[in-house]
Amino acid sequence: MQLFRWTHWRPFVQATKQPVEVQTSLLRRLLHRNRDTRFGREHGFSTIKSYADFAAVVPVQTYETLRPYIDDQERTGEPALNAEPPVMYARTSGTTGAAKLIPILQDTIQAHKRSQAIQSYVQFSADARAYYGHCLAIVSPAEEGVLDSGTPYGSTSGFMYENMPALARMKYVLPYEVFGITDYDLKYLLILRLAVTYRDVTHVACANPSTLVKLLSVLADNRATLLQDVIQGTFSRANDLSGELQAMIAPLLSCSPVRAAELRTVFASPRPTFADLWPELRLVSTWTGGSCRIPLATVRPTLPPGTRVGELGYLASELRGTLVPDLDRDGGTPTIHENFFEFVERNDWDAGRRTFCLVDQIRPGKEYYIIPTTGAGLYRYFMNDIVRVTGSFHATPTIEFVQKGKGVTNITGEKLYESQVIEAVRLTEDETSSISGFFLMLADADRATYRLVIECSTPTETWWNKTLGSVERQLLSLNVEYAAKRASGRLQHLELLPVRPGTGEAYKRHCLSQGQREGQFKLIALQYQSDCTFPFADFRLDVLGPESG
């Protein structure tokens, strides 16, 4: 870790002390490197002398405006967007239905390695014990397919996992090949089967905390099978695996008699927790902001006392947007040494005003759309992501992800935001001492009302009245336009749809079946009813009390 400190951490800290100079220099290098690409020639990269020049000649891009360049360079081999040919593509869902292929260059891989080294140093400095034992990390496959050109596409996190140094790999519970299993239930059952034999898991890492909720569910449903497998040194569904994978996991199935006896006690509980499984767990690395707060609320009570939940940072297929320099503070520092950043205040962008500001000009407490320019050819790229400025690290602001821009609905002019829905439900849960593992708000424009879909095992009349009343009260307080439209009668009263436990997991499966990747799945907690094709009504639980509508 001392090597990481001197080679990666200290240069990063130095960069945060002079963000303007670092960003100016970076933009100049990116433009110079790609000046002879087709995009660079068409936009006069060789003549750009300043940020003002750059903003004047390069419009804000979306994937659809860049798609022709990416498709052409992959088909012809000519440098249309990138001077350096991509070694792979990160594949993610697109707004048009056609998947997006984000170029991953060799430089991109090196940047990810540097970022990983910095984040590891921060985590180790916060609690060295998180690195004493084994790590359970869950990622997407590095290769999910191959283009006609022969270039693979998949996940950058999977690529990093597959290609980590042999010495580091010894600390990880799972062989990389497990992540290639396409059967959702089989994969999670095998993950648990391999992980439960280790008592000394001190670090768990996954992008989305809904993965951890899934693990808990699989654990509760398969306790008897897992215990039998542990005692016998087997895996009950081994025949569903390829012969190669069967041979690979065979040496990993043995378990000491002491651990087997301990697991017998753990599995006697109807709902074992992570604290039961791994009492030495010190760190959980995952997303903590935006809609991820919903599943994380279910996970936190299952952790051992003192386990720290560390934010992974603003991380997307397109880029690693932040590094988290302090696990005890909200927000991460933009990766100013790797990506050039522009911002537009949220209200300005939504109103059609394109007033851009740079990283040194954003202010604490304000929310912005983030528009990065990356080393992989995403120039002035509109992510449709909203971030909030939380403070600063040296001279560089820190930011946190708030929500996707599309997490906004507007039936009668109220402009309700996903973050307001999440806060309203969380405040209600504090009032009622009832935590739900899943909720989602649907805007029904035809009936001019909102409907809160929420998991609840036993929806009593008392719970119904308290939840409905409190959420409505919180929304009235959080959104003045919502209050005005409700007072005028243009917006009808809030409705409640209690659904049985497991609905959230069924909804996630539905989204994955529609083409979303598991590792990139993010719950949009506020949607239009017309955009939602999942049959929540089929999961409804009846309750004695007011009619839900």
The full DSSP string for 9-75 is IHHHHHHHT-HHHHHHHHHHHHHHHTTTSHHHHHTTGGG--SHHHHHHHS--B-HHHHHHHHHHHHH
Residue 522: pLDDT band with limits 50, 70, 90: confident
Helical H segments across 282-435, by residue range: 293-299, 346-350, 418-432
Residues of the chain above pLDDT 90, percent: 77
Q: Tell me, what's the pLDDT at 291?
A: 79
pLDDT in tens, 316-326: 889 999 999 99
Residue-range domain boundaries for the chain: 2-107+314-404, 133-281, 408-539
Whether the per-residue pLDDT at 485 is higher than 90: the answer is no
The pLDDT of residue 431 is 93
**Strand 152-154 with 145-146, pairing:** antiparallel
Domain 2-107+314-404, CATH among 3.20.20.300, 3.40.50.720, 3.20.20.70, 3.40.50.12780: 3.40.50.12780
Q: What is the mean pLDDT of residues 398-425?
A: 88
Whole-angstrom CA distances from 340 to 9, 32, 383, 530 are 19, 14, 14, 37
pLDDT (average), residues 243-258: 96
Assess whether pLDDT exceeds 90 at residue 92: no
Share of the chain above pLDDT 70, in %: 98
Residue 328: pLDDT above 60?
Answer: yes
Residue 547 has pLDDT above 50, yes or no: no
Tell me what pLDDT residue 94 has: 57
Interior angle at CA 79, CA 76 and CA 80, nearest 5 = 85
Residue 184: predicted pLDDT: 84
Q: What is the mean pLDDT of residues 438-458?
A: 93
| Mean pLDDT, the chain, integer | 93
pLDDT at 178: 97
Which stretch of 85-94, 275-284, 473-482 has the lowest confidence by average pLDDT? 85-94
Range with the lowest mean pLDDT among 43-52, 87-96, 207-216, 320-329? Answer: 87-96
Question: Phi, psi at residue 493, to the nearest 5°?
Answer: -65, 150
**545 compared with 382, residue with greater pLDDT:** 382
Predicted confidence (pLDDT) per residue in 296-322, tens digit: 999 999 999 999 999 999 998 899 999
Nearest to residue 286, comparing CAs of 469, 420, 157, 466? 157
Mean pLDDT of 324-336: 94
pLDDT confidence of residue 265:
97
State yes or no: pLDDT of 371 exceeds 60.
Answer: yes
Look at 123-137, 359-373, 482-496 and tell me which has the smallest mean pLDDT: 482-496
Whether the predicted pLDDT of 153 surpasses 60 = yes
pLDDT of residue 96: 46
The neighbouring-strand residues paired with 495 are 451
CB contact at 8 A, 264 and 227: yes
**Which of 8-12, 137-141, 395-399, 527-531 shows the lowest per-residue confidence on average (mean pLDDT)?**
527-531
pLDDT at 480 over 60: yes
| Average pLDDT score over residue span 228-245 | 97
pLDDT value of position 89? 95
What's the whole-number mean pLDDT along residues 167-192?
94
Tell me if 421 sits within 8 A of 284, measured CB to CB.
Answer: no
d(CA 93, CA 489): 38
Position 351 scores a pLDDT of 79
Lowest-confidence pick of 20-24, 58-62, 461-465: 461-465
Given pLDDT bands bounded at 50, 70 and 90, which one contains residue 124?
very high
Q: Using the predicted structure, report yes or no on whether residue 17 has a pLDDT greater than 60.
A: yes
Check whether 451 has a pLDDT greater than 70: yes
pLDDT band for position 548 (50/70/90)? Answer: very low
pLDDT, one tens digit per residue, over 504-520 is 999 999 988 887 777 76
